Amino acid sequence: MAATAALAEHADRSLLIVEDDKPFLERLARAMEARGFSVTSSDTVADGLEQIGKSAPAFAVVDLRLGDGNGLDVVSALKRKRPEARVIVLTGYGNIATAVTAVKLGAVDYLAKPADADDVVAALLNTSMEKSEPPQNPMSADRVRWEHIQRIYEMCNRNVSETARRLNMHRRTLQR
């Protein structure tokens, strides 16, 4: 286990996970604890910022889009409080502009969801400047679009009309 050996080099194994998808958050938190991290989890930007205020972790995994704001706010707050912290950004809505912004704010990597725990550990502990392998099965544009629509639909409590308004789509188009 190269990841376990690399983690052993770090005395502080504190990890903050900021993710609003609760099942994914719980699964990732358990997997990271099993890999030797001391995990604190949060499902909102506000709670993530509060956790950083209490104790800035050595590592962080932050979702880009959260229910109450942008995960990049958490990244910048953590890097201000603890510049050596290693942060990765997870997103289901990746694009080049946000990846560049995340890296400029101090993120060490930018991973597309669904990322498994091994990918997350590898990104957190990768201290070399070599590029990571592209995902073997990246999400198609249609899949990303569908997931975005589903997320907005759930945020609107499954109200088709409200979802259509927020997405600037016709209700009938959305129902298909």
pLDDT of residue 8: 53
* Domains in the chain: ranges and CATH: 2-125 (3.40.50.2300), 141-175 (1.10.10.60)
pLDDT confidence band for 38 (50 / 70 / 90): very high
- Asked if residue 138 has a cis previous peptide bond (ω within 30° of 0), the answer is no
How do residues 52-70 score in pLDDT, each as one tens digit?
999 999 999 999 888 888 8
Q: 137-160: buried (b, 16+ CB within 10 Å) or exposed (e) per residue?
A: eebeeeebeeeebebbbeebeeee
pLDDT of residue 128: 59
Q: Which helix (H) or strand (E) holds 149?
A: helix 141-155
Q: Look over the chain and give the mean of its residue pLDDT values, rounded to a whole number.
A: 83
- Residue 77 tokens read as 């707050």
pTM: 0.68
Higher pLDDT, 144 or 139: 144
CA-nearest of 101, 95, 51 to 77 is 51
Neighbours of 75 (CB within 10 A): 26
